[in-house]
Amino acid sequence: MMVRRAFLALVTALLWPALAIAQDASTPLPRVQMETSAGRIVIEVEVVKAPITAANFLRYVDEHRLDGTTFYRAMQAAPGAGLVQGGVNNDPDRVLPPITHEPTTVTGLSHIDGAVSMARYAPGTATGDFFISVGPTPSYDAGRPFSVDPDGFAVFGRVVEGMDVVRTILTSPTSPTEGEGFLRGQMLDPKIVILKASRAMP
């Protein structure tokens, strides 16, 4: 009897990591819905693969720091492709401390169509601004031969509803004079308001 119990305990210990992974895989990822002045966008947040970045984004949502902010940038890299950027835009009353960078080489995520990723300056400076890829943008992944930045940008989710809204934002009017350097001509005018960001009900 004691040998059998010891054997069962050993088998359970060996299988536990696999069982835990299976449980994580079966648990639905949290979703965030953004009501914007252009329509609704729903984002699935990758809390398992990008836990630091995902937790940061959810904190901004849960503390209502994104309510009343905007999508303020649209960069068209090709017809119907590029990115749209939004968030707190360095508002001192909204911004939280920067977070550790989670590169795509660690998370296994990629800048596919609809990927949601953190905007930043140097690695480790991301706060409350994010962008959504329109069309695949692998040059924003880490470690690619032709990467925009060798450290890449931290993907933490993807749009599961509302890519039509994102594409509308991408083609919205921009100011010919607002923005510095390469950002000139990419700043939305008028900006698209994020009326409310909240966790979506399962």
In this model, does residue 21 exceed pLDDT 50?
no
- pLDDT > 90: percent of the chain: 75
Q: Average of pLDDT values for 48-71?
A: 98
Residue 144: predicted pLDDT: 79
Euclidean distance between the first and the last CA atom of the chain, given in angstroms as a whole number? 45
Q: Where are the domains of the chain?
A: 28-199
Residue 182: predicted pLDDT: 78
pLDDT in tens, 113-165: 999 999 999 999 999 999 999 999 999 999 877 667 889 999 999 999 999 99
Chain mean pLDDT for the chain: 89
28-199: CATH number: 2.40.100.10
Q: Coil, strand or helix: which one is 127?
A: coil
Q: Coil, strand or helix: which one is 81?
A: strand
In this model, does residue 19 exceed pLDDT 50?
no
pLDDT in tens, 144-157: 776 678 899 999 99
pLDDT in tens, 82-108: 999 999 999 999 999 999 999 999 999
In this model, does residue 6 exceed pLDDT 70?
no
Residue 202: predicted pLDDT: 64
Rounded to two decimals, the pTM is 0.86
Distance CA 42, CA 164 (A): 11
Neighbours of 139 (CB within 10 A): 15
Closest of 86, 90, 139, 147 to residue 112, by C-alpha: 139
Residue 201: predicted pLDDT: 77
Contact predicate 178/189, CB 8 Å: yes
Confidence of residue 23 (pLDDT cuts 50, 70, 90): very low
pLDDT in tens, 32-49: 999 999 999 999 999 999
